[in-house]
């Protein structure tokens, strides 16, 4: 379907219902095993409407990830805009802006953590599969949100650690985000190690405090 065509409210509602159902079924069954009739039934829609809205199973799967990326962007865009403005500061003034850069870096990492803990559980399952066996859906996720976040982090770290090589800065950015990925994509051993049954407000505050300390030490270095 041409995305430029405006859907009726009913058509938009049906499309959203199909995406909601597909998110759950693809997360539970995986792409190969997911059944389009099962998705349509869960959405309360005619299976033919999957073809109308998404053309194919692959198109539906890709649309699920495009929507995930869009919703993640909605949460992160205000902070990404602030980081963009900070990175427009002339390089000669960067040293004086280190405290501001550090706070933006911490806010970004903590924002990822909160989003990761409270997001729909199916998102984590879908993203985990794409991280390990990437398809075109991963490209949509990366181009739509992950890549933007990575570039923002690298830009801040370049301000905080001037003179560091680009490869080293990128490796540091990866290690900082890795702390957050552990919570989502390695949750079982993480929770077992800490003896936690769930992540509530106290646990989340404890993780935020530790990540804030780690990020500060790693970003400022020696």
With the CA atoms of 26, 29, 31 and 35 taken in that order, what torsion angle do they form, in degrees rounded to the nearest 10?
-90
What's the CATH number for 67-220? 1.10.357.10
Distances (CA, A) of 150 to 90, 129, 130, 154, 173: 21, 20, 17, 6, 7
Taking the CA of residue 32 as centre, how many other CA atoms within 13 Å lie in the half-sphere pointing to its CB?
3
Look at residues 77, 214, 116, 104 and name the one whose alpha carbon lies nearest to residue 159.
104
| pLDDT at residue 91, as a whole number | 62
Query: Can you tell me the distance from the alpha carbon of 153 to that of 86, in angstroms, rounded to the nearest whole number?
Result: 12
User: CATH class for domain 9-55?
Assistant: mainly alpha
Mean pLDDT for each 10-residue chunk of the chain (222 residues)? 49 89 94 94 94 95 94 87 86 69 84 71 86 91 89 89 90 88 80 88 88 88 69
Query: Can you tell me the distance from the alpha carbon of 73 to that of 120, in angstroms, rounded to the nearest whole number?
Result: 15
Strands (E) located in the chain: none
Tell me the three state secondary structure of residue 117.
helix
Phi, psi values for residue 165, rounded to 5°: -65, 155
| pLDDT at residue 176, as a whole number | 87
Q: Where are the domains of the chain?
A: 9-55, 67-220
**Angle 64-69-71 (CA atoms, 0-180°, nearest 5)?**
95
Look at residues 219, 201, 203 and name the one whose alpha carbon lies nearest to residue 102.
219
Number of C-beta neighbours around residue 121 at 10 A: 12
């Amino acid at each position: 379907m041409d995305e430029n065509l405006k859907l009726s409210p009913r058509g938009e509602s049906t499309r959203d219902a199909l995406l909601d159902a597909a998110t759950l079924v693809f997360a539970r069954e995986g792409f190969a095993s997911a059944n389009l009739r099962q998705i349509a039934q869960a959405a309360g829609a005619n299976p033919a409407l999957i073809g109308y809205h998404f053309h194919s199973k692959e198109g539906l799967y890709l649309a699920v990830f495009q929507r995930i990326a869009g919703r993640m962007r909605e949460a992160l865009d205000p902070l990404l805009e602030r980081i963009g403005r900070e990175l427009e500061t002339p390089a000669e003034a960067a040293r004086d802006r280190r405290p501001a850069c550090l706070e933006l870096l911490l806010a970004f990492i903590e924002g990822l953590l909160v989003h990761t803990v409270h997001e729909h559980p199916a998102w984590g399952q879908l993203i985990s599969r794409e991280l390990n066996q990437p398809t075109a859906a991963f490209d949509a996720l990366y181009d739509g949100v992950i890549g933007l976040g990575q570039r923002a982090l690298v830009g801040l770290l370049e301000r905080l650690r001037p003179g560091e090589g680009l490869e080293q800065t990128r490796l540091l950015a990866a290690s900082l985000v890795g702390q957050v990925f552990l919570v989502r994509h390695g949750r079982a051993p993480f929770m077992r190690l800490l003896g936690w049954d769930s992540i509530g407000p106290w646990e989340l505050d404890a993780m935020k405090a530790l990540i804030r300390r780690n990020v500060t030490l790693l970003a400022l270095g020696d």
